[in-house]
Amino acid sequence: MEMDSVHNYYERLVFDEIKANYRGLLNDELLADMACIALNRIPPRYIRFDIDMSFFLTTEERIDIENLVRKACRRAYKKITSFQENHSDDAINRVKA
């Protein structure tokens, strides 16, 4: 049974969005965490071949998907940076004590 081709359609889109707009803002580990957070905000859509999905999407659906991915990544970035800010303050306070 051939299962290697089955994947979540949104994975590549989220990875591409992060690479294009967030690389350099966070280290690679935090970018991976950000991808997980973003993907967990989007219902999975499993497919075998990206071309099949792209072929059947209308322009409106494609725009909706792009907006969904952008919004999920933006929210994930805010969550990561908020977590960093809150925890770096705790670390600084512990060092001062």
Predicted pLDDT of residue 96? 41
Instruction: Indicate the domain borders of the chain.
Output: 7-96
Distance CA 69, CA 62 (A): 11
pLDDT beyond 80 at 93 = no
pTM of the predicted model, to two decimals?
A: 0.82
- Specify the higher pLDDT residue, 87 or 43: 43
Which of 32, 34, 11, 22 is CA-nearest to residue 83? 34
Tens-place pLDDT, residues 39-78: 999 999 999 988 878 788 899 999 999 999 999 999 999 9
* pLDDT tens profile 7-43: 999 999 999 999 999 999 999 999 999 999 999 999 9
State residue 33's pLDDT score.
Answer: 96
In this predicted structure, what is the pLDDT of residue 26?
Answer: 94
